[in-house]
A and B are shown apart, each in its own frame.
Chain A
Amino acid sequence: MTDLSWLVPLPVVIPLFSAGLTLALYRRPRVQPIVSVSALTLVLLASVALLVLADDGPLVVDVGDWAAPVGINLVADRLSALMLSISSAVTLCVLLYSLAQGRDDDEESAPISIYHPTYLVLTAGVANAFLSGDLFNIYVGFEILLAASFVLITLGGTRDRIRAGTIYVVVALLSSVLFLVALASIYAATGTMNLAQLAIRLPEIDPGVRLVLQVLLLLAFAVKAAVFPLSSWLPDSYPTAPAPVTAVFAGLLTKVGVYAIIRTQTLLFPDGRLDDVLMWVALATMLVGILGAVAQDDIKRLLSFTLVSHIGFMVFGIALSSDAGWTAAIYYVAHHITVQTALFLVVGLVERVGGSTSLTRLGGLAKATPVLAVLFFVPAMNLAGIPPMSGFLGKLGLLQAGVQAGTGLSYVLVVGSVVTSLLTLYALVKAWNKAFWQSPSDQPRPVGMPFGMVGPAAALVVVGLVLTFAGGPLYSYTHRAADALRTRTPYIYAVLPDGQRGEGESAEAADEADAVAPDPTPSATVGGDGS
């Protein structure tokens, strides 16, 4: 096999480079879209290639050719590659959608010249967080995507967006500080930030300290992933942003947090001591989230609450700590990214045609625009988990894994997920009845739906359906991913072939490291020898 690991950094490098390019081209609003669309298309191709290649084993790149524990490394294993492929497909669709919206609408809701660079930086940050094999680099990835998301959520700087953005920014910064504290403590305890080396060293330290580190990391990620009780910022801040921005946030940003939870729980803390706590948290997230959704009468807020509630499903799968649980959780993440993004894009169309997102004022859309009705109905039923769609497959996998675990708590969670699914169905059917069947209070304005907006939204709906039809291969792929996560050795050996050092150039240091290798405690030489 030829060495194709040069593909690994591309999903980070291409968007960052094009972000600079589009920023330089801010006076050329016609060239900007071409640059960003082609950049994201290339990223999609690279990610799909990685998806295929990573199935044979993780691909590792030591950045700058520095050996692994000293330098930063990027790792594409099955989990990262799958997340990356789904997310780049979604970002490309959302970009196309926003372009069409920008062409048709006024400046305020439309992409202004800063939109393209920021959006590209956002995708680079997401890719960096997915690919990073270094805990501190994950932090950097988070910060990149957060900084971009701050700009996107306050786009235009209107009163509403500033109000909602304030809460979002402050909460995000607080979680970053928590993450930093966790990183500092981890470095103090183990003397490394490299995920693979951490996986080797963490079991050797005091179990009490390890528990503290685990809790700190989980808290930081739970804020980002919007896990109850750290979720209340989400339904407040997301709905005010422009439709494409909300869509990409809802689809991706919380899932980056979920990915980080999966990665750390499986690789760093495989003993699963917090699983019971996570189970309860998952139950609370599901129920509180969906009850919030039932109470809403604004369709964007309703969807934001269902987003929170369905994070609970993923946490449930992670907390099961079994092959089956992780398989289902990873599949569920892939399914949820596409479906939630598709729904928010369709709601953007609903807002455009109906002139509002309030369910009291919307009405009669089924008759006015049958295409829109279909586009809403399919992902809505998919989210609720109606067979045979991908939501059903994901939920079925989770329920099976829960029953397999067979503890009392897991049965409680199984019942909780069924109740949550039913309530999701109720909330979405209510939204459907109001927006599409209720007789309209006033005649809908005759607004055309540009194909540029319908096309990408439809494409995402179709991707959701493809996840169903390709359910078999995809599920076995996530199963292999979960299997690799459980054994942990493929990841560790890919990064540190001899258990000590990566393949980068620091032969001299490697000799020294061999000399001091048996000493697992942090030593000044380990840090200082990256020459």
Chain B
Amino acid sequence: MIDMAPNLVLVVTIAVMFTVGVYLVLERSLSRVLIGIILLGNGANLLFLVAGGRAGRPPIVGLEPEGQMSDPLPQAMVLTAIVITLGMTAFLLAMAYRSWQLNRHDEVQDDVEDRRIARLAAIDLRAVQDADTEESGQSLDEEAEEARDETDDRREGGPS
């Protein structure tokens, strides 16, 4: 049975990193989001160190008594996670730069198409114009009336 009581300094650091990270991720500018993601990722890495239990001697068999070794598995996983985060950060950075190249800013933009549909809904318009039923733009009553009164003069503006 090993001592799993977490190191308080690590826990506080993790809490601070996650708080700041969440705040930054909610920003609009991609570079701030990027820093937020780095902080979050490193907070998660520190969490792995806490998960490994108490710090101990280097885990090399034959060099150290086995009871005093620290658990190497979380360290291996943290290494993997750090490498992955590095790659992702590089990609995100490149994307922020490309966005700046194209738009002169790196704001994360809204879903344009979604905004269009929402605006249509707000003014109660159809998203799709039905070419075969809506082209006349008149109500069924008007259409019926027109169909019945063939001999009468056409209403003005009515399409033929």
Are A527 and B77 interface neighbours, CB within 8 A? Answer: no
Task: Report if B12 contacts A (CB, 8 A).
Answer: no
Knowing A360-B128, A531-B61 are in contact, say whether A524-B56 is a contact too (CB < 8 A): yes
Are A157 and B131 interface neighbours, CB within 8 A? Answer: no
Are B95 and A528 interface neighbours, CB within 8 A? Answer: no
Are B95 and A524 interface neighbours, CB within 8 A? Answer: no
Are A173 and B88 interface neighbours, CB within 8 A? Answer: yes
A183 vs B52: C-alpha distance when bound (angstroms): 12
Interface-located stretch among A159-167, A345-353, A387-395, A485-493: A159-167
Inter-chain contacts of B88 with A (CB < 8 A): 143, 146-147, 150, 169, 173, 176
Q: Give the total of B residues in contact with A, Cβ under 8 Å.
A: 55
Closest beta carbon of chain B to A369's beta carbon, Å = 20
Interface residues of A in 433-461 (CB under 8 A from B): 434, 438-439, 441
Q: Give the total of A residues in contact with B, Cβ under 8 Å.
A: 57
Are B66 and A165 interface neighbours, CB within 8 A? Answer: no
Are A295 and B25 interface neighbours, CB within 8 A? Answer: no
Are A157 and B51 interface neighbours, CB within 8 A? Answer: no
Knowing A157-B98, A170-B108, A295-B121 are in contact, say whether A524-B128 is a contact too (CB < 8 A): no
Interface residues of B in 32-64 (CB under 8 A from A): 33, 37, 40-41, 44-45, 47-48, 50-53, 56, 59, 61
Knowing A166-B108, A188-B51 are in contact, say whether A524-B91 is a contact too (CB < 8 A): no
Task: Report if B72 contacts A (CB, 8 A).
Answer: yes
> Given B30, B127, B129, which contacts A166 in the complex, CB threshold below 8 Å?
B30
Are B67 and A524 interface neighbours, CB within 8 A? Answer: yes
Inter-chain contacts of A519 with B (CB < 8 A): 1
A378 vs B65: C-alpha distance when bound (angstroms): 68
Inter-chain contacts of A159 with B (CB < 8 A): 102-103
Are B25 and A296 interface neighbours, CB within 8 A? Answer: no
Q: Looking across the interface, which residue of chain B has its beta carbon closest to that of A519?
A: B1
Inter-chain contacts of B45 with A (CB < 8 A): 180
> Given B68, B81, B128, which contacts A180 in the complex, CB threshold below 8 Å?
B81
Are B99 and A527 interface neighbours, CB within 8 A? Answer: no
Task: Report if B16 contacts A (CB, 8 A).
Answer: no
Knowing A177-B44, A528-B66 are in contact, say whether A236-B111 is a contact too (CB < 8 A): yes
Are B1 and A521 interface neighbours, CB within 8 A? Answer: yes
| Binary contact readout A379-402 vs B (1 if CB under 8 angstroms, 0 otherwise) | 000000000000000000000000
* 11 new A-B contacts at CB < 8 Å, known A169-B88, A174-B37, A188-B50: A143-B88, A147-B84, A166-B108, A173-B37, A174-B25, A176-B84, A177-B37, A180-B45, A180-B47, A430-B128, A527-B71
What are 7 of the A-B contact pairs (CB < 8 Å)? A159-B102, A166-B99, A173-B92, A180-B48, A297-B127, A527-B74, A531-B61
Q: Which 3 A-B pairs have the closest CB atoms?
A: A188-B51, A527-B71, A180-B44
Chain B residues proximal to chain A, CB less than 8 Å: 1-2, 4, 25, 30, 33, 37, 40-41, 44-45, 47-48, 50-53, 56, 59, 61, 66-74, 77, 80-81, 84, 87-88, 91-92, 95, 98-99, 102-103, 108-109, 111-114, 117, 121, 127-129, 131-132
